[in-house]
Amino acid sequence: MTEKARGVGKGRILLRALGVLLTAIGAAGVFLPLLPGVPFLILAAACFARSSPRLEAWLLDHPLLGPGVRKWRERGAISRKSKLIALSMMTLSGVAVAQSPAPLWAQALSLGLMAVGALFVATRPND
């Protein structure tokens, strides 16, 4: 039976492939301290929700990869550790931007966007 006959269009195939890629990046983030894994896993789950309920269920039920995604979906929660890492990296990046030779408008734009991101992260509930 062809994929089209099974109701799997190109969009679903692309979303499933993107979900697999994002899952791989997110899984790497579990082991690499400076790579944020959960945001990639949240995006992967969104791709799977639209393309493969089986893969979405697998990701949500995975003992290592699933808890952060479930907490985000249930309460929009981010762990304290993740918040600390994200806010620390944004602070370091902000210092680097402020010390850079970039034009003042570029520095201001970067720092403003970083501040919006930091505010968003800081105001999410803790898991």
**71 and 100 co-located in one domain:** no
Can you say whether the dihedral through the CA atoms of 103, 106, 109, 110 is positive or negative?
negative
**Residues 84, 69 share a domain:** no
pLDDT in tens, 80-125: 988 888 899 899 999 999 999 999 999 999 999 999 999 999 999 9
Q: Please tell me the distance from the alpha carbon of residue 99 to that of residue 51, in angstroms, as a whole number.
A: 45
Tokens of 6: 């099974």
Tokens standing for residue 25: 């990046």
- C-alpha distances in Å from residue 43, one per residue of 50, 86, 92, 99, 101: 11, 17, 26, 33, 34
Asked whether residue 108 is assigned to any structural domain, the reply reads yes
Q: Is residue 91 part of a domain?
A: yes
Q: Looking at the domain assignment, is residue 34 inside a domain?
A: yes
High-pLDDT (> 90) share of the chain, %: 71
Could you report the per-residue pLDDT of 13-27, keeping only the tens digit for each?
A: 999 999 999 999 999
User: Which tens digits make up the pLDDT trace of 62-85?
Assistant: 999 999 999 999 999 988 988 888
71 shares its domain with 36:
yes
The domain of 60 spans 10-75
